[in-house]
Homo-oligomer: A and B are copies of this chain.
Amino acid sequence: MASENNRYQSILDAALELFLKQGYANTSIAQIRSKSGATTGSIYHFFKGKPDIAVALWDQAVAGWTRETRNTPQSPSAEDTIKASVNGLLRWGSANPDLFRLFEELKVKAQSEEDFAPIKQQMEKVHMQGEALYATWQVLGAVKPISWSVASALIVGPAYTLLSTERVVSDKDREFLVNMAWEAVKK
């Protein structure tokens, strides 16, 4: 796999490095070409264009993230699950501020540009998974009877906003927000 996908992966690695450093919009294919060592032809052999590279990176990141969270023991309780998700978000965002910023940029683009549709679909899929989970907690009477859209906004909104402005969140603030997230939706 490594030998076959060498070029493919080297393009993605170079693109990610550049996107993290200077953002997606300010990165040109020419830069990706020179940094990766690949040629224009190779790049267009593997990818339809610049947006397609961003989508591939998003998919890889999501895949890696999914693999990680699958290894963590399934917490059946709503409280543990919600706290763990906010905790994870704040830890991850604090550890990877550039990646968080890139995700913000791509998220905004995904809302309006057709080329980023796969990212939008991924986000909707994750949203629906959370929705199903929240529905079960609601049946159990563990959480407030509100829509998942509102609930998830209460749960991750503060963490997301804080990361967006501060980029790095202290342990103390993280613990505080984790508890507040649960307080906001528990019944």
In the complex, whether A4 has a CB less than 8 A from a CB of chain B is: no
Residues of A136-155 at the interface with B, using a CB-CB cut-off of 8 Å, are 146-147, 149-150, 152-154
Whether B154 and A180, one on each chain, are in contact in the complex, defined by CB atoms closer than 8 angstroms, is yes
Which of B104, B150, B162 contacts A173 (CB under 8 A)? Answer: B150
Asked if A25 lies at the interface with its beta carbon under 8 angstroms from chain B, I say yes
Q: How far is the CB of A23 from chain B (nearest CB, A)?
A: 5
**Stoichiometry (number of copies):** 2
Chain B nearest CB: distance from A34 CB in Å? 21
* A22, A25, A150, A173, most chain B CB atoms within 10 A: A150
Chain A interface size range: 20 to 34
Is A176 an interface residue, CB under 8 A from the partner? yes
B-chain residues with CB within 8 Å of residue A161 when the two chains form the complex = 152-153, 156-157, 160-161
**Binding site secondary structure of chain A:** helix
- Flag if B153 contacts A165 (CB, 8 Å): yes
Q: Are B158 and A173 in touch, CB under 8 angstroms?
A: no
Q: Given the interface contacts A25-B25, A104-B108, A113-B26, does A177 sit within 8 Å of B165 by beta carbon?
A: no
Q: Is A59 in contact with chain B by the CB < 8 A criterion?
A: no
State in angstroms the CA–CA spacing of A173 and B109 once bound together: 26
A104 to B162, CA, bound (A): 15
Taking Cβ atoms with an 8 Å cutoff, the residues of A that contact B are: 22-23, 25-26, 101, 104-105, 108-109, 111-113, 127, 146-147, 149-150, 152-154, 156-162, 165-166, 173, 176-177, 180, 184
- Other than the given A149-B162, A149-B173, A157-B162, 6 more pairs (CB < 8 A) read A22-B112, A150-B176, A152-B161, A154-B180, A157-B158, A157-B161
